[in-house]
Amino acid sequence: MTDLIIIGAGPGGYKAALHAARQGLKVTVFEEEHVGGTCLNAGCIPTKTYVHSATFEEATERQQQVVEALRGGIETLLAHPNITLIREKGVFSDTHTVSGVTAKNIIVATGSSAKRMGQGLSSTELLQLRTLPKRLCIIGAGVIGMEFASVFRKFGSEVTVIEYLKECLPMMDSDIAKRLRKLMEKRGIDFHMGASVKSIDGQQVVFEQKGKELTAEADAILVATGRKPNVAADYAKAGFEYDERKGITVDEHFETTVKGIYAIGDVNGRQMLAHAAEMQALHVVNRIVGIEDSIRFDVMPAAIFTEPEAALVGPSEDRLKEQGVPFECHKSFYRANGKALAMNEAEGMVKLCCEPGEGKLLSAHIFGAHAADLVQEVTAYITLGATLQQLRETVHIHPTLSEVLIGVN
C-alpha cells in the first residue's frame, strides 16, 4: 500500500520523500533520470564546483566526483524502508493513479527545463563541454548568465553578455546590480545591455542595440533566458489546472485544483530555487500528516555566485518605492570593514531597508565576499520580525565580515 506518490526526485521530491517516510508514510517515488534532479546533476552543485575550482580542467574533473558522491548519499537516504524508488517516468492515468500505483496523496515535483533559442547551448550542455571555449557568448544577464560569465572569465574565456534589459539581475537592487556589472566589466567581460538578439547562426549571434545591428562571434553560445516548468500532457488525466508557461496552478499550501494533489518546486513556477523546493516539500508533507508549521514563504533569500557574490532577501529599495511602503535605507561598504581588507576583498556594499526609525527589517541586498552568508543572517532577523535596532544590538564577532551589517549608516 502507498500513502503518497511523488513524481520527481530533485530537491523538492527527495526531501518530501524523506520527511514523509520519517513521519511513517509509505512512499513511492518515480524518477526517470538521476536522483538529485537539476540542482545536483546540472545546477547548483556542478556550477558551484566550477566557482571553487582554479582551472577549467580541474572543474570538469571535480564536477563528476562531487556530483557522484552526493548522488550516492541521496540514494542511501532513499533506501529508507518506507520508500520505494521506481526508476521510470511517472505518468498519470487518473486523479489518484500514476503508472499503475494508486495513493490518496500525490506530489508533482517534476522541475523545469531551459528555454531554447536557435542552436544555442543550455546551461546543462555548457557544463558538458570538455574544452574551454576561447570565446563564450551568453544571452541573458540573469542569475545563470552572470554566474557562467564570472566563472568562464576566470578560466580565461573571452566573455560577451547580451541582455535585453538595461541592467543585469532584475530582482536585485539596481545600484548593487550596476556596481557588480561594472566590476565584472573591469575583469574583462563585455556587456551589451538593452540589446535584443535577432538570430543565432552557427557561431554568430546577431543582435540589435540602439538601432544598430551588431554581431558577436563565439566558440560557444549559452542561452540563459530563463527556465520553463516541466508540465506534461498526462496532467489532463489528473484533472488539475496548469499552464505551459506558468506551470501548475497551486494555492498557498501548494495544493493543485484537485484535492490531494500537490505541486512543489520549479514546476509550480513560484520561486525557482532549490531551497524553495525543499521548504515547500516540508510544508506539503506537514499538511498531509497534520503538523502545523510557520515557514515564511514570503521571506525567500537568494544568491548569485559570481565573484564576488551577490545575495538578497526581501524587496529592493526600488520595489519598496514602487509599492509605496514607508521605509528607510541604510548602507555600508566592505572597504570600511577590517576583515574584508585583511581578506583583500574590499569591493562590496550592503543595503538594508527597514521600517522608519530603525524599525522592522524589510530587506537586505548585498554584493561582496560571502554575501550569501550575510544575507542568511538578515533572513533570520526578518523571519523573526526583528528590527534594525535589534540587529545593531546583537554582538558580532570581531573581526568578521558580518560587522559590515552593524556598520550601516
Report the SS3 class of residue 272.
coil
Minimum CB distance to ligand FAD, residue 13 (Å): 5
- Judged by beta carbon, residue 39 or residue 388, the one nearer ligand FAD is 39
DSSP letter assigned to residue 188: T
Neighbours of 26 (CB within 10 A): 15
Nearer to ligand FAD, 3 or 278 (CB): 278
Q: Reading across the β-sheet that carries 212-217, which strands appear in turn?
A: 195-201, 204-209, 212-217
What minimum distance in Å lies between the beta carbon of 64 and ligand FAD?
A: 16
Taking the complex as a whole, the smallest distance from the CB of residue 297 to ligand FAD amounts, in Å, to 14
Distance CA 122, CA 183 (A): 26
Pair type for strands 349-354 and 101-102:
unpaired
* Minimal distance, residue 339 CB to ligand FAD, in Å: 24
For the CB of residue 391, give the shortest distance to ligand FAD in the complex, in Å.
Answer: 24
Shortest distance, position 409 Cβ to ligand FAD, whole Å: 31
Q: Would residue 96 show up in a list of annotated catalytic residues for this protein?
A: no
Cα gap 359→285, rounded to integer Å:
35
**Cβ-based burial of 129 (10 A; exposed 0-12, middle 13-18, buried ≥19):** middle
Catalytic member of 253, 283, 330, 398: 398
- Cell triple for 48: 558551484
Complex with ligand FAD: residue 74 or 391, whichever CB lies closer? 74
Among 401, 185, 205, 195, CA closest to 306:
185
Q: Which is nearer to ligand FAD, 42 or 288 (CB)?
A: 42
Q: Give Cβ neighbours of residue 150 (< 8 Å, ≥ 6 apart).
A: 51, 184, 189, 305, 306, 307
Side chain identity at residue 117, one-letter code:
M
Which residues would be at the binding site for ligand FAD (CB under 6 A)?
7-13, 30-33, 37-39, 42-44, 47, 89-90, 109-112, 123, 144, 230, 232, 265-267, 272-275, 277, 305
Distance of alpha carbon 103 from alpha carbon 282, whole angstroms: 19
Read off φ and ψ for residue 143, nearest 5 degrees: -60, -50
Shorter beta-carbon distance to ligand FAD: residue 39 or 180: 39
Instruction: Determine the Cα angle at 365 with ends 359 and 368, to 5°.
Output: 130
Give the DSSP H or E segment for 340: helix 338-342
**Cβ proximity to ligand FAD, 11 vs 308, nearer residue:** 11
CB of 55 to ligand FAD, least distance (A): 20
Instruction: Say if residue 170 is preceded by a cis peptide, omega within 30 of 0.
Output: no
Residue with cell 570600511: 336
Q: Which is nearer to ligand FAD, 59 or 354 (CB)?
A: 59
Annotated catalytic residues are 398
